Amino acid sequence: MGQRTNQMRYKTNGRPLTTMRRVKRKRSLVDRILRKNEKSNYKILGAITIGMAITMINGMNQGTKNLEDSLRLAKMQQTHIVTEEEKWRESLRYDVNAQEAQQEKEEIKIENVLSNVVEQYNQNAAQYGEQTITENDIKIYEEMGINDGQIFSQYSDSGELEYHQNYLKQNDGTVNWVAKENIDGAYAIVNGLDNTAIAGIINLNGEYEPLKVDLMKTASNQDIIASDNYITIEGNKEVYDSLKNEAQKRIKEQEDKSKGIENEM
């Protein structure tokens, strides 16, 4: 028989242990209690930590919410203030615009239209060897029925489109004639001292343009040519209507005057 080596045996419920396995020491009752308490302490500490973290997060969220609410309230208050201020400023702008519109409307009254024409005419009168005029020297001719071959357009040397009146103008292909159905009326401002046209305006299908009266014939069959000292007035509806009203007013005054003379006779 082979030699039996001395081998230490442990009580292992009948199973021998090799040297590769270790026997765990059985914990005592005190160790188990301390271990249990230690785990409990870890659980309590973990719960406290989680609770503190939740509290901090909630506090941060609440603080953020309070900040957002404060910013939102401040923004609403600021918006309200700006809106009220803008309303006040808008009312001021409205007043200013209304005053400017009223001023512009007053500036295009017939008195101002004629006074401006007279003023511009007199500034250059000496240059053209002409005498100065007053508003009383102004005549307004109404041309409501202009036939074909009287109004044409052409470009000036500076490249601007101009409208001219000349019933003797030859159709040489260099001008564009305006058909009579497109002409709603025209007015010529005439210097009554020498019967020369010094300004004009025309209504072309609701579009108002300055008119250069080179040559026109009046209802009394009188030719009127353009003055060398010609004034270009602004082409707009207000100026046109002002001249129209003034022309009709003068016609009525002349008719009333003629009727008065006839009644006296």
**Highest-pLDDT range among 87-101, 140-154, 221-235:** 221-235
* pLDDT confidence of residue 186: 95
Q: How do residues 76-97 score in pLDDT, each as one tens digit?
A: 555 555 576 666 667 666 665 6
pLDDT confidence band for 178 (50 / 70 / 90): very high
pLDDT confidence band for 105 (50 / 70 / 90): low
Q: In angstroms, rounded to a whole number, what is the distance separating the alpha carbons of residues 163 and 186?
A: 11
pLDDT over 60 at 170, yes or no: yes
| Among 157, 159, 141, 124, residue whose Cα is nearest residue 215 | 141
pLDDT confidence band for 4 (50 / 70 / 90): very low
Q: In angstroms, rounded to a whole number, what is the distance separating the alpha carbons of residues 104 and 116?
A: 14
pLDDT over 60 at 19, yes or no: no
Q: How far is CA 72 from the centre of its chain?
A: 31
Q: In angstroms, rounded to a whole number, what is the distance separating the alpha carbons of residues 194 and 191?
A: 6
pLDDT confidence band for 66 (50 / 70 / 90): low
| Among 176, 177, 232, 186, residue whose Cα is nearest residue 207 | 186
Beta-carbon contacts of 171 under 8 Å, excluding residues fewer than 6 positions away, are: 149, 177
Please write down the HEC assignment for all residues of 7-66.
Answer: CCCCCCCCCCCCCCCCCCCCCCHHHHHHHHHHHHHHHHHHHHHHHHHHHHHHHHHHHHHH
For range 6-12, the mean pLDDT: 44
* pLDDT confidence of residue 21: 43
Ranges 26-35, 143-152, 184-193: which has the least confidence: 26-35
User: Which one has a higher pLDDT value, 256 or 98?
Assistant: 256
Alpha helical stretches, state H, the chain: 29-107, 110-125, 237-264
Extract long-range pairs of 86-95: CB within 8 Å, 24+ residues apart. none
